[in-house]
């Protein structure tokens, strides 16, 4: 049986062959973070299958290609301030951290990731994973309803929402910095939505484009589904 590191490399190479992964920093990040270490023991054998993986409490962590697309579509890069709405098991938070705040760069050049998970048990699981794997200095993982953002942390260059909302929350737009990008699934709560990319240009004007169909669990919280 192939080791997890061999499976990881093969999975990333497949995403590169499909032209889903292109950016060298994002490729390096996904090769670095051990996805199996963020999963419950009974899910670890599926770690590098490109599909959503159950992480308990009725939730999943996104498929590998979706993790890659969030990074690529967002133009993720060194030094950015990233907000993740729906941190789950913490895997994607750490991939983002390896892009915006890699250890081979000086602290002055590095950005930071803020990740919020609304489910208390899952928030504890994600936070434990991040602490155990040594990412807590680059990822602030909190239990919170971030459907309206985390305004106390200022503006963000990139906001990634990992659950489907009925509409774009205006308060998330308010926390998007000039030149920033928001990625959010919009649509019904029945596991089919459209991934929308929102850009705020340097003059503050908002631009939206549709990136195609996706399937996410429904957003909870103030701006989610009730």
Catalytic positions are 62
SS3 letters across 113-172: EEEEECCHHHHHHHHHHHHHCCCCCCEEEEECCCCCCCHHHCCEEEEEECCEECCCCHHH
CA distance from start to end of the chain = 45
DSSP state of 220: -
* Token pair in block for residue 70: 């969030």
- Residue 3 backbone zone (phi > 0: left; psi -120 to 50: alpha; other: beta): beta
Query: Which one, of 24, 11, 19, lies nearest residue 63 by Cα?
Result: 11
Q: At what angle do helices 91-100 and 24-32 cross, to 10 degrees?
A: 140
Q: How many CB atoms lie within 10 A of CB 52?
A: 17
């Amino acid at each position: 049986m192939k080791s997890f590191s061999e499976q990881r490399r093969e999975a990333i190479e497949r995403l590169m062959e499909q032209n889903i992964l292109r950016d060298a920093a994002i490729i390096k990040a996904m090769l670095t973070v051990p996805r199996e270490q963020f999963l419950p023991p009974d899910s670890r054998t599926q770690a590098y299958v490109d599909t959503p993986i159950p992480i308990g409490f009725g939730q999943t962590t996104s498929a590998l290609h979706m993790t890659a697309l969030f990074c690529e579509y967002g133009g993720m890069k060194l030094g950015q301030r990233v907000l993740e709405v729906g941190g789950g098991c913490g895997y994607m938070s750490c991939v983002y951290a390896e892009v915006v705040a890699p250890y081979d760069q000086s602290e002055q050049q590095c950005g930071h990731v803020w990740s919020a998970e609304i489910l208390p048990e899952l928030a504890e699981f994600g936070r434990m994973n991040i602490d155990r794997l040594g990412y807590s200095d680059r990822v602030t993982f909190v239990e919170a309803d971030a459907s309206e953002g985390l305004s106390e942390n200022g503006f963000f260059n990139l906001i990634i929402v990992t659950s489907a909302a009925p509409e774009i929350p205006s308060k998330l737009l308010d926390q998007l910095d000039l030149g920033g990008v928001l990625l959010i699934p919009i649509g019904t709560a029945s596991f089919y939505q459209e991934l929308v990319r929102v850009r705020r240009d340097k003059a503050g004007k908002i631009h939206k484009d549709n990136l195609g169909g996706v399937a996410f669990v429904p957003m909870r919280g103030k701006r989610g589904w009730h």
